[in-house]
């Protein structure tokens, strides 16, 4: 189904004009991946709108799709300021959305369960099922915030008619949460063993000062949601330090990604700063806003979030596997070897260079939306809290993927080959996930 009309801002750059000529091959690669995803997505049925289940202009409170995005917001409102390691947070949210999805489809049908088949009597409330599942997962991960989640559960259930349907729905949600938590127990997403570090030397990554260890390195060993193993889609090695491709990539980030870069335009600087927002919170705000715009029913909305978050989790695991396997140095280390005193525009995230994490993370969102919507015209608006809520609009997935890739170069954080590898990795993760999971009932 195509998204409903939605007012939006516009790009402040024209990617076709501002893109350097040597970007064309990378964009052809992205375009080819687009064809693959859209061909497969065309096989899936179009999700129903929310109004289809309750009559024109109405939403049945016992099966209200708004409950899905609301609990995403509740989770992120607690996680974002919590101090919990940033890249452990998506696994909490993903587990919550898997439980919500399995609870909702137990009641509503339409799609295959992801992990857990829960019996649901006729008349059970899918709103109650989703809310209870979310509540129980979050309390298990974040018991200190149980009072917040208890209050949110009361809020979610307030509109659901009292009676058997509510009680049955809550029982379904409890069962789905318990089974999902058992399935993800000991998954290594919150802590675990750390990969061995390479000996220092040319080309070898070092933690961003003043840190002495990398960010959440144990995620390289975490148990995926849908992949066979973290290294299932490990990219080929980055180009060697003596290669022409490597030297060109270093020179590009030297020229365009410096703290002071005469070749970088003011708009490019703004774009780089836009994508320096906290990426997980930014990603989830965009997903919530897009869910409102799509206006799908509760089953399709639960699927949207569960598919997006499991793809995100696996993209992070696959990305961290590659990062800590190759441990390639960052531009802040490499560029000063050819231009002493060089510094990047933005502070460098504290993990190895290859592949780009934003390519993996934002790429997974873009590819998932294209797959589930059945179109490259994703009509996505994203805001940046670090820039006072400034928004940028992306009519197509290609617009999104192009900009996020350029932004990491303009920020002085990545080489172009790392951006391309991150986007390609995201494509493989999403294709693997959605070709096997979250499928309609035939």
Tell me the chain's radius of gyration from C-alpha atoms: 22
What is the predicted pLDDT for the residue at 57?
A: 41
pLDDT computed for residue 189 by the predictor = 97
Q: What is the pLDDT of residue 151?
A: 98
Residue pLDDT tens, the chain, 442 long: 333 332 232 222 222 323 332 333 454 444 444 444 444 444 344 465 543 344 434 589 999 999 999 999 999 999 999 989 999 999 999 999 999 999 999 999 999 999 999 999 999 999 999 999 999 999 999 999 999 999 999 999 999 999 999 999 999 999 999 999 999 999 999 999 999 999 999 999 999 999 999 999 999 999 999 999 999 999 999 999 999 999 999 999 999 999 999 999 999 999 999 999 999 999 999 999 999 999 999 999 999 999 999 999 999 999 999 999 999 999 999 999 999 999 999 999 999 999 999 999 999 999 999 999 999 999 999 999 999 999 999 999 999 999 999 999 999 999 999 999 999 999 999 999 999 999 999 8
The pLDDT assigned to 54 comes to 41
Helix (H, G, I), strand (E, B) or coil at 384: strand
pLDDT of residue 44: 46
Domain extents for the chain? 15-48+240-434, 56-184
Terminus-to-terminus CA distance in the chain, angstroms?
A: 19
Torsion, CA 431, CA 432, CA 438, CA 440, rounded to 10: 70
What burial letters (b/e) apply to 400-416, b meaning 16+ CB within 10 Å? bbbbbbbbbbbbbbbbb
- Cis check for the bond before 210: say yes or no (omega within 30 of 0): yes
Question: For domain 15-48+240-434, which CATH number applies: 1.10.606.20, 1.10.287.3610, 2.30.42.10, 1.10.3720.10?
Answer: 1.10.606.20
- Closest to 113 in 3D by CA, of 126, 103, 121: 103
The reported pLDDT for the residue numbered 47 is 62
């Amino acid at each position: 189904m195509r998204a409903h009309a939605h007012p939006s801002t516009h790009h402040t750059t024209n990617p076709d004009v501002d893109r350097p000529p040597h970007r064309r091959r990378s964009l052809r690669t992205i375009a080819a991946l687009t064809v693959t995803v859209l061909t497969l997505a065309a096989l899936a049925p179009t999700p129903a709108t929310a109004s289809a289940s309750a009559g024109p202009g109405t939403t049945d409170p016992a099966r209200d799709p708004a409950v899905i995005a609301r609990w995403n917001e509740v989770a992120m409102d607690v996680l974002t300021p919590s101090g919990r390691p940033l890249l452990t947070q998506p696994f909490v949210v993903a587990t919550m959305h898997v439980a919500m999805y399995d609870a909702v489809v137990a009641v509503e049908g339409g799609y295959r369960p992801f992990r857990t088949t829960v019996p649901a009597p006729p008349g059970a409330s899918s709103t109650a099922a989703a809310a209870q599942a979310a509540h129980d997962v979050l309390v298990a991960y974040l018991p200190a915030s149980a009072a917040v989640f208890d209050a949110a559960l009361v809020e979610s259930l307030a509109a659901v008619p009292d009676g058997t349907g509510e009680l049955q729905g809550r029982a379904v949600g409890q069962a789905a949460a318990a089974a999902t938590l058992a399935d993800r127990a000991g998954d290594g997403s919150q802590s675990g063993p750390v990969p061995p570090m390479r000996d220092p030397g040319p080309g070898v990554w070092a933690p961003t000062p003043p840190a002495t260890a990398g960010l959440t390195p144990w995620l390289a060993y975490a148990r995926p949601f849908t992949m066979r193993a973290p290294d299932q889609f490990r990219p080929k090695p980055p180009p060697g330090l003596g290669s022409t491709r490597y030297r060109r990539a270093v020179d590009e980030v030297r020229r365009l990604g410096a703290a002071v870069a005469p070749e970088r335009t003011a708009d490019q600087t703004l774009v780089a700063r836009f994508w320096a927002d906290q990426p997980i919170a930014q990603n989830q705000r965009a997903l919530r806003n897009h869910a409102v715009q799509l206006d799908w029913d509760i089953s399709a909305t639960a699927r949207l979030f569960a598919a997006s978050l499991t793809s995100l989790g696996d993209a992070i695991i696959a990305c961290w596997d590659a990062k800590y396997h190759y441990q390639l140095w960052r531009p802040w280390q490499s560029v000063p070897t050819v231009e002493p005193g060089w510094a990047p525009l933005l502070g460098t995230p504290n993990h190895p260079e290859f592949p780009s994490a934003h390519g993996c993370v934002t790429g997974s969102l873009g590819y998932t939306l294209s797959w589930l919507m059945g179109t490259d015209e994703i009509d996505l608006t994203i805001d940046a809290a670090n820039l006072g809520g400034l928004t940028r609009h992306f009519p197509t997935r290609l617009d999104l993927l192009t900009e996020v890739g350029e932004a990491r170069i303009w920020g002085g954080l990545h080489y172009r080959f790392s951006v391309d590898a991150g986007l390609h990795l995201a494509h493989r993760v999403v294709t693997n996930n959605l070709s096997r999971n979250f499928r309609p009932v035939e």
